[in-house]
Amino acid sequence: MSEPTAPAGRPDAAPLEPRFPKFARATLADEIANRVLALIQGQQLRPGDKLPAERELAHTMGVSRPVLREALRALSLMRVVDIRHGDGTYITSLEPQLLVSQLDFVFATDAVALNQLIEARRLVETGNARLAAGRITAEQLARLDELLAALRSRVADPAAFGDLDIEFHDAVCAAASNIVLSQVMRIIDTMGRVSRQRTGASRHVREVALRDHGAIIEALRARDPDAAEAAMHAHLDHIETALGAATR
C-alpha cells in the first residue's frame, strides 16, 4: 500500500496510517466495508492503494476470511475496490462515473429514482443553459448546430439519437464553462442512460426533443439567459411527461 502523504500546507504533519480495528465476530460484513469507506473518506486510503493481503487483513481486523471476503465483494460491487485474483485488492480510481455506473439497475427498477433524476437534471441543466447564454462562443454554437443536424438525420435510430442527445447536453454544459457543473453532468450522463432508453424508444418523443433542442440553440444564439433557461425547462418537462408514460 502506498504511503499516504501529509495534508497540503502541513509539511510537518505525521503521515496518516490506515487503522483496521478488530471487530467482534458477530459484526456484519457491512461494518467492515463501512470502515474501509471511512478510511477512504479520511484520505488514509487513496485511489490505487493496495490493501493488505487477505490473511493479514482478516487477522488485523479479528474477523474470519469468509466475512472479510463478503465485505470486499460488497465494496467491489460498489466499484470502490478492484479484486485482482492472484494480485490483490486495490482501491479503484473512485471516479464519479465508475461509482455510479451500477445505479443503472436502480433506475431500471425504481420509478421514484428516475423522477429524482429528472429533478436533478432540471436544477443542473437549466442552470447550464442560463450560464451558456452569456458565455457561448461562435465555435460552440456551430458545434450545437452540427449536433442538431446529426440528431435530425438519426431521428429514426433510437440508439444513435440517444448518444447524440447526450453529446448535445454536454455541449451546452461545456458552453457554461463551469468545471464543477461539468463533473456533475458526467454523473448525470451515466445515470441518465436508462431514462433515455425508455423515453427515446418513442419516435414522437425523439421528434419533440429535436424541436426542443432547436429552441435551446436559438435562445443561446440570441444570448438570452431567460429564454435559454425556459427552453431547457420546457424540454425537461417533455422528458418527464414521456418518462411517466413509459413507466406506467
The percentage of residues in the chain with a pLDDT greater than 70, rounded to a whole number, is: 78
CB 131 within 8 A of CB 218: no
CA distances to 121, 154, 246 from 243, rounded to whole Å, are 13, 21, 5
First to last CA, the chain: 50
Q: For 67-114, write each residue's pLDDT tens digit.
A: 898 889 888 877 788 999 889 999 988 776 666 555 555 555 556 667
Q: Sorting pLDDT into bands at 50, 70 and 90, what band is 19? A: low
Q: Residues 23-28: what's their mean pLDDT?
A: 51
Q: Is 66 exposed, middle or buried (0-12, 13-18, 19+ CB in 10 A)?
A: exposed
Q: Taking the model in full, what pTM does it have?
A: 0.61
Which uninterrupted H or E stretch holds 232? helix 225-247
Q: Which domains does the chain have, with CATH numbers?
A: 1-94 (1.10.10.10), 100-247 (1.20.120.530)
Half-sphere exposure of 27 (CA within 13 A, CB side): 19
Q: What are phi and psi of 39, to 5 degrees?
A: -65, -35
